[in-house]
Structure 1
Amino acid sequence: MRLRDKAVVITGAASGIGKAAAIRMAEEGASVLLCDINTKEGELTAEHIQENGGTALFMETDVTDEDSVQQSIQYAYKQWGAINILFNNAGVGGHEKKLHEVAAEEWDQVINTNLKGVFLGIKYVVPYMLEKGKGTIINTSSVLGFKGKKRTGPYNAAKGGLVTLTKNSALEYGRYGIRVNSIGPGVIDTPIVDEWRKDEKKWQIISSANALGRIGKPEEVAEAVLFLASDEASFITGETLMVDGGGLTF
């Protein structure tokens, strides 16, 4: 098993990419703490993992709240005596608007969830990783962290910021045995694209706007996360692995 005896914390783990990654990592032997504001779905996912022979716990976590993030990280450490892997995955899409139409509160919600939440995860997990002299952090960016898209300014800004934050973190902690990478999903079949589906004409374009001509599955992204978390990626840090079906080439 590729993650045997590893302790993992995953934010945004109740659905989509986070859920798929939690299930996949548990299959590979990891003990997983699922963190999310969606208590019902998070607990159901943890139960699913347990029923299939894996080790998983759930803790309600708001990544925009510093105390909530700190408490979840501490809880995982108390349970397993280490945190080997952190997957900063929680995120929101926001409403499609031109920048001058975006309320400051909307901007703050997207930035605080998608960018500040990652900072808080790094801030509170790194001391435990420094203690062990190793660790792996993976952040969820996006294809929209690399190119613009109309009416998604806050989201683009947050995901673009994550790309650079990943590089900064890799530089700061690499010599202490901590690797930091990110993934760049394209259009993936998760709740974050539900709003796009409502416009049938637009969805036909969005859902095929990549080299493969289809949307991705959460399980496909989970495989990329698993690779970056594993020892197979031991000499990879500061990078963003695109999982976008060739979206950047389109």
Structure 2
Amino acid sequence: MRLEGKVAIVVGAGQTPGETIGNGRATAILFAREGARVFLVDRDLESARETQAMIEGEGGTAVAFEADAAREADCEAMVEACRSQFGRIDILHNNVGIGMGDAGPTHLSEENWQRIIDVNLKSVFLTSKHVLPVMREQESGVIINISSIAAVCSVGMLAYKTSKAGVNALTHSLALGNARYGIRVNAIMPGLMNTPMAIET
């Protein structure tokens, strides 16, 4: 098992209701199958608990935790709770993201712009801010940020594209600034996937 003895935080470990499986839930299950103890973070605690039940049903170890990753106090509490439960943090997987309410520049409301930027970009900053001191102390760790191919393609969703381009820039900055501590930071840029949020809503 590649992750035996590791502790992984998956932010966005629940999912939008639907027949298919979301990226965060799928990642959490795979991490557990590879031996990691998984700290499941989501605004929807019941959805995170569903993921927990799936992992435990396969003999894995997981804990569900309710938090809004766009709120700093929640991110701080998330890190404290994970460290209290498992003693360390080896992986931070940032998977939260939304696009509903997005539009072109002349039709996008300020409210929807801010909400998308907060959820998609601010959350990555805040979770990383509070996990990094733990990883620096350990002199090891991995941060994985889910961006999107939309960051480099021409799409009509202005706020989503901008937020994901920001995730790429933030990832680059974090990687350069933390390599000396033995920490790797990378972004994954998927295209359209058959997930409940992308396909079924």
Give the TM-score of the pair, scaled to structure 2. Answer: 0.94
2:187 maps to 1:168: no
SS at match of 1:14: coil
* Bigger-Rg structure (1/2): 1
Maintained 8 Å contact 1:141/1:160: yes
Q: Which residue number corresponds to residue 34 of structure 1?
A: 40
SS at match of 1:185: coil
Maintained 8 Å contact 1:94/1:155: no
Gaps of 5+ in 2: 16-21
Q: How far does the alpha carbon of each residue in 1:33-56 deviate from its partner, in whole angstroms, 9 at most, with x for none?
A: 111112222101101111210000
Gaps of 5+ in 1: 198-250
Q: How far does the alpha carbon of each residue in 1:114-133 deviate from its partner, in whole angstroms, 9 at most, with x for none?
A: 00000001100000001100
Q: Which residue number corresponds to residue 192 of structure 1?
A: 197
SS at match of 2:194: coil
Maintained 8 Å contact 2:102/2:113: no
Q: Which residue number corresponds to residue 121 of structure 1?
A: 127
Q: Report the aligned-residue RMSD.
A: 1.1
Instruction: Report the residue type matching 1:3 in the other structure.
Output: L
Q: Which residue number corresponds to residue 131 of structure 1?
A: 137
Q: Report sequence identity in percent.
A: 39
Q: Which residue number corresponds to residue 204 of structure 1?
A: none
Shift of 1:95: 2.3
Shift of 1:87: 0.2
Within 2, Cα distance between the matches of 1:132 and 1:96? Answer: 40
Give the one of 160, 182, 190 matched to 1:177. Answer: 182
Q: Which residue number corresponds to residue 230 of structure 1?
A: none
Q: Which residue number corresponds to residue 51 of structure 1?
A: 57
Structure 1 residue runs of 4 or more that deviate by more than 6 Å after TM superposition = none
Q: Which residue number corresponds to residue 12 of structure 1?
A: 12
Shift of 1:94: 2.2
Maintained 8 Å contact 2:14/2:44: yes
Instruction: Report the residue type matching 1:175 in the other structure.
Output: R
Q: Which residue number corresponds to residue 158 of structure 1?
A: 163
Q: How far does the alpha carbon of each residue in 1:213-237 deviate from its partner, in whole angstroms, 9 at most, with x for none?
A: xxxxxxxxxxxxxxxxxxxxxxxxx
Instruction: Report the residue type matching 1:98 in the other structure.
Output: G
Shift of 1:190: 1.4
Within 2, Cα distance between the matches of 1:73 and 1:99? Answer: 36
